[in-house]
Structures are given as structure tokens and as C-alpha cells.
Amino acid sequence: MSEQLLLEMIQRLSVAATLAFVLSQTSIFRRLINRRNTCQDALLLTIFFGLVGISGTYAGIPINDAIANSRVVGVMAAGLIGGRFMGISAGIIAGGHRYLLGGFTALSCALANICEGLLAGMIHKHYPGRPIPWWLALVAGVFGETMQMGIILLTARPYYLAVELVSEIALPMIVANSLGLMVFMLIIKTTTDAQEKISAEQSHKALHIANKTLPYLRRGLTAESAQATAHIILATAGYDAIAITDTEKVIAFTGAESSHHAPAVNTSLTTATRQALATGQVQLARDKSGIGCAHAGCRLASAIVVPLKSADRVIGALKLYYTHKSNLGQADIVFATGLAHLFSTQLELTEIDHQAKRADKAKMKALHAQINPHFLFNTLNTITSLIRTKPDLARDLLIKLSMIFRYTLHKTGQNITIYEELAQVRAYLSIEQARHGEKLVIIEAIEPELGHYLIPSLTIQPLVENAIKHGLQPKPAGGSLTIKATACGDDIEINIIDNGVGMDLAAHNPLEHPSGESIGLINVHERLYGQYGSNYGLTLTSQPGQGTTITLRFPKRLTDEVDDCA
């Protein structure tokens, strides 16, 4: 093995390493890793990898009318990252260019590049949604370059020149290019992992802040709730100043330069804020002129402004300031947009809650029992963790979540069929099973002929939620939840049975002595009692350590007829 040739090849691999780092920083690459890339993205990446292969040719070392090169790094990286189509296409680009350069190995090298792209794509097929391990990239490089040497020996003529060439370049190319491919994939994985870690940390911080601000934002976007929220963000997030506005003025400001930005002194909006409110888009102000503050001595030097929305309507803005010219990066954008989305969701839910209070007290209770902000945040966190590893499941959970909200908004206060009620319950349970995994086992025993009878909406789901939250979650090993529906003469009984921690009803029966944790049970019981009379409602049986059974009873009805005993 020519040690000099090996050293020269390793030195020239720095070009591929640099290109790997550049690629890992692009949004196109992140979309590819998260499997959200478009056909245009795939085309651009294919061309990029083909050009990496071509650069490997030009960085090669001429030997005996051939080139000892690192072309395989770009071609096989395309296949390992993007699959067979991208690997073969990059091989055609890089190999086709090599063929046009001529030489007695031109056809052999072009054919080898296509085969190497196919080999890498086949490896990618066995790692869906997962990064290729560094050791596998190394092994793939060894196999790919060994295959190239075999193709040269089989197809290049005259044969004796092919043998001489392979004997001289085989080991240097196999060693150097295998290491190069490994380094290429390691750089991409390392930078991707770092970006994901930053995003995860910022998402966690945003969720922590959102949870702390819940008691305030439940009051809506007022000066008092906004000021309390701004103080919490300032104390947690590391920015120099925080401001919150409505659509016309600043309603909260805390931190640096409060002397002339606080609402008591100045409620006017900066240029960046007006742009965010007008466009509904995030605005980055990287210097004082971008912020647009009219005060001559203002120390605020950069900011990110994110609109707050309710039902796609801009209702205000969240502003995060630095007192120095910060290079606002992806971490700031992820944090600010994530926090604003959570605030917007909470404010929208608050508005829904207020509308329900104004419309009907009983409907509001059902809505409050259903739309639990903690359930929403837990669900969003679960979906976030699944987006990359199980995108189909994450998409399915989003559909289930939207189904729950549509159901809550449109069915509250109505009598619907048991089939419709169970469909919503199953959507809710799909989300809970995604969160708890094998710790939550669901069993259904529904008599099919009961599905067309009517039941008050939001009757079963609060009971199921109560069983999971208070019966099964406190049990480390989890347990099972059974939903059973049977006909009892002219009535229907539905049993929600869990084998969780149970409770001592003699000491405390939530139906007899209501508490904040039993609002769902009381709400369902009162609605059944009020609609159908004193013979209907809920009953509980439970033993500590053995589980709980909630039984709800109501009459068989196919239409919304008025009950004489109500």
C-alpha cells in the first residue's frame, strides 16, 4: 500500500467533511431527515450529492491514466441519507462526469458509482427514520470500494493495466474513502443531534413557562395577566426584557429600559411590532433600527417579535429583547414561536371557556372537563417526540386531537348516539395509549344493538379520563380499563372499570362530597339526573388496591323526547 497516496487522499477528504457540515445546517436537509421533503428538495439534494462526488474526482490524484479519488463519499452518502433513488441518481451524476473525462477506467468507474449508490440505498431501506450508525457507514464504504475494484478488474481493458492500477490504489482508496464516508455521516449526525437537543431544550423551557403562566392566561389577555406572564418569562428564559401587546398598545413590559417602555409611560408600538401584527409573521430585529424605538438612549439592540393568535386572528404580540446585537438564531425562533403557539392555544381555549359561560353553565362544565390544558400540553409533547421517529402515528394523533376539539365545540349539550360518543372516546384513548404505551390496556364490551340509542354528549369521556388519571396513573405498573355497555330492560348501563389503586368510599365518596378532582363525575351525574330523573345517574363501587367501577344508567331513547320524570 502506498502510504504517501493514502496520506494525500485523507488530506483531500477535508472538502467532503466541510460540505457535510454545510449540508447539515440547511433546512432542506432537516426536512429530509424528518421525512417532510418535497420533490424539489429531493432534486436539489441529489444534485448536491452529485456535486460532492464530482468534487471528489477533481480532488483526486492521477495515477496511470486513472484517478485515485473520493467520489464514492458523495454518492454513498446520498444513498445512506436519501435512499436508493437519490443514491443511484447521485451515482449517475458523479459517474457520468467521470465517464466524460475519459481514460481506460472511465466506464468502469461510472458503473461502479451507480452500483455504490444502489448499495447505500439498500442499506438505508433497513433504517427507516433512523440515522445510519457510524460503524455501518464504515463497513458500507469498505464494501462499496471493494466492489469498485472488482468492477474495474472485470470491465477495464487492457487487463494488465487494470491489475496494476488496482494493486496500487485499492487499499488507499478503501481505507481513506471508508473513513471519509464515516466522518461525513458522523458530522451530519453530530450536528443534527445538537440541533435536536437545542430544540428539545427550548421546547421543554417553553412548556415549563406555559405551565407556570396558565393560572394567569386563563383570565384572558389583560394587562394583569400579561404583566404576570412577562415576569415569568424574564425570570426563566434569559432575555433582557419582555413585552406583550394587544393589537393597539403595549399592555405589559418588564426588564431593561422599563423606564420608557413600560405601559404607564409609553404604550406606543415599535416598528417591528406593527409589522408582526399586520402580517401575522415572526419579525426579527437585529439592531436598533430594526426595533424602531424612538427613544434616543434605548439600550435594546435586538428582538424577536411573535404574533399571538386566536382562531387565526392576531390578538397581540410577544416580544423578547436583548440589550446587545445578538445573532438571533434557530434556538430563539424555536423558543419564541413555540411559546407563542402555546400562549395562543391557551388564550383561544380561554375565549371558548368564556363563551360557554355566557351561553350555558352546564355546557361550560362539560367543556371545562373536556378541554384540559395539561392534557393538551401532554398531547402536544407526545406528538413532538413522535414526529421524527413515528411520523404516521404523530399525524394520526393530530387528527385524533382535532376530532376531540371539533366534537367538544359542536356536540356539547346535545344528545347523540352511543356510537358517536364512543368514537370520541376512542380518539381520546388513542392519545392516552400513545402516552402510556403498554401500561394502559383498553378492553371494550359493547352490545352492538345499543349503538343507535341516544346519550348526552361528553358523558363517557370524563369518566374514562377520571379512571385513567386517578385510578391507573398512580399505579406504577399501569393497568386495564374496560368499557362495558349492556341493556337492562328499558334502560342502558355503561360500566367504566379499572383495576387501579381504588379508593375508600366510606372515608370519601366523590359523588357525596365533591372536590375539585371530581368535577367530571359530578357534572355527568347531575346532567343524567337532571335530564332523566332521580332513577338515573352514576353509582360507584371501589376497594383500595383493587380498582373502581363507575356505572352510569340512562333510559333507552332513539329520539330527543321529553322525560316525564325529569
What pLDDT, in 10s, does the model give residues 498-518? Answer: 999 998 888 888 887 776 666
- β-strand partners of 285: 303
Whether 560 has a pLDDT exceeding 90, the answer reads no
Nearest-Å Rg of the Cα atoms of the chain is: 32
pLDDT of residue 562: 42
Whether 173 has a pLDDT exceeding 70, the answer reads yes
Q: What strand order describes the sheet that includes 491-498? A: 440-446, 479-488, 491-498, 547-555, 537-543
394-408 confidence digits (pLDDT tens): 888 888 777 777 766
* Residue 359 vs residues 364, 365, 407, 408, 412: alpha-carbon distances, Å: 8, 11, 17, 15, 11
Amino acid letter for position 368: H
Mean pLDDT, the chain, whole residue set: 83
**Positions of CATH 3.30.450.40 in the chain:** 218-351
Angle, helices 418-436/391-411, rounded to nearest 10 degrees: 140
pLDDT of residue 565: 37
262-306 confidence digits (pLDDT tens): 888 888 888 888 999 999 999 988 888 888 887 888 888 889 999
Close Cβ partners of 428 (under 8 Å, ≥ 6 residues apart): 400, 404, 461, 464, 465
The number of CA neighbours under 13 Å toward the Cβ of 243 is 31
Q: What percent of the chain is predicted at pLDDT more than 90? A: 33
Sign of CA dihedral 469, 474, 476, 478: negative
DSSP character at residue 36: -
**Positions of CATH 3.30.565.10 in the chain:** 360-555
* Residue 349 vs residues 134, 217, 282: alpha-carbon distances, Å: 46, 10, 22
Close Cβ partners of 348 (under 8 Å, ≥ 6 residues apart): 309, 310, 311
CATH of domain 3-197: 1.10.1760.20
Whether 393 has a pLDDT exceeding 90, the answer reads no
pLDDT of residue 368: 45
Close Cβ partners of 92 (under 8 Å, ≥ 6 residues apart): 50, 113, 114, 117
pLDDT of residue 366: 47
Give me the mean pLDDT over the 134-148 stretch: 93
Question: How many other β-carbons are positioned within 10 Å of the β-carbon of residue 291?
Answer: 21
Closest CA to 92 of 81, 80, 100: 100
Closest CA to 478 of 491, 463, 492, 467: 467
pLDDT of residue 155: 94
Sign of CA dihedral 112, 116, 122, 123: positive
Q: Are strands 440-446 and 479-488 parallel, antiparallel or unpaired?
A: parallel
Give me the mean pLDDT over the 188-192 stretch: 77
Sign of CA dihedral 85, 87, 90, 94: negative
Give me the mean pLDDT over the 426-446 stretch: 87
Angle at 101 between CA 96 and CA 105, to 5 degrees: 80
Pick the range with the lowest mean pLDDT from 99-113, 149-163, 213-227, 321-335. 321-335
Give me the mean pLDDT over the 78-93 stretch: 92
Three-state secondary structure readout of 150-188: HHHHHHCCCHHHHHHHHHHHHHHHHHHHHHHHHHHHHHH
Q: Which helix (H) or strand (E) holds 455?
A: strand 454-456
pLDDT of residue 358: 53
**8 Å CB contact between 319 and 308:** no
Closest CA to 480 of 419, 526, 549, 529: 549
User: Which runs of E-coded beta strand occur in 54-195?
Assistant: 61-63, 66-68
Whether 360 has a pLDDT exceeding 70, the answer reads no
pLDDT of residue 411: 60
Whether 29 has a pLDDT exceeding 50, the answer reads yes
Angle, helices 159-217/3-12, rounded to nearest 10 degrees: 30
Give me the mean pLDDT over the 154-181 stretch: 92
CATH superfamily of 218-351: GAF domain (3.30.450.40)
Pick the range with the lowest mean pLDDT from 98-107, 149-158, 203-212. 203-212
Peptide bond into 62 cis (omega under 30): no
Give me the mean pLDDT over the 239-248 stretch: 92
Q: Are strands 479-488 and 491-498 parallel, antiparallel or unpaired?
A: antiparallel
> What is the band of 442 on the pLDDT scale with cuts at 50, 70, 90?
very high
> What is the band of 364 on the pLDDT scale with cuts at 50, 70, 90?
very low
Whether 214 has a pLDDT exceeding 90, the answer reads no
Q: Of 10 and 53, which is predicted with more confidence?
A: 53
Closest CA to 106 of 52, 165, 25: 165
**Positions of CATH 1.10.1760.20 in the chain:** 3-197
In angstroms, rounded to a whole number, what is the distance separating the alpha carbons of residues 72 and 148? 9
pLDDT of residue 561: 52
CATH of domain 360-555: 3.30.565.10
Whether 336 has a pLDDT exceeding 80, the answer reads yes
Q: What percent of the chain is predicted at pLDDT more than 70? A: 88
In angstroms, rounded to a whole number, what is the distance separating the alpha carbons of residues 271 and 292? 5
b or e along 389-414 (b: 16 or more beta carbons within 10 Å of the residue's beta carbon)?
Answer: eeeeebebbbebbebbeebbeebbbe
* Residue 424 vs residues 111, 282, 455: alpha-carbon distances, Å: 56, 35, 13
Where helices occur in 310-329 by DSSP H, the ranges are none
Residues in the chain, how many? 566
DSSP states of 347-369 = HHHHHHHHHHHHH-HHHHHHHHH
User: Three cell numbers at 209?
Assistant: 413557562
Q: Which of 143-147, 176-180, 363-367 has the highest mean pLDDT?
A: 143-147
Question: How many other β-carbons are positioned within 10 Å of the β-carbon of residue 183?
Answer: 20
Closest CA to 164 of 69, 64, 61: 64
User: Three cell numbers at 456?
Assistant: 348526552
Give me the mean pLDDT over the 63-88 stretch: 90
pTM of the prediction? 0.44
Q: Of 141 and 201, which is predicted with more confidence?
A: 141
413-426 confidence digits (pLDDT tens): 678 899 988 988 88
pLDDT of residue 137: 92
Q: Which helix (H) or strand (E) holds 322?
A: strand 313-322
pLDDT of residue 88: 95
pLDDT of residue 319: 92
Give me the mean pLDDT over the 172-180 stretch: 91
Closest CA to 112 of 154, 51, 77, 78: 154
Give me the mean pLDDT over the 436-464 stretch: 89
User: Three cell numbers at 534?
Assistant: 332521580
pLDDT of residue 35: 62
User: Three cell numbers at 322?
Assistant: 436583548
**8 Å CB contact between 307 and 280:** yes
Whether 324 has a pLDDT exceeding 50, the answer reads yes
* Residue 159 vs residues 150, 154, 156, 438: alpha-carbon distances, Å: 12, 8, 6, 62
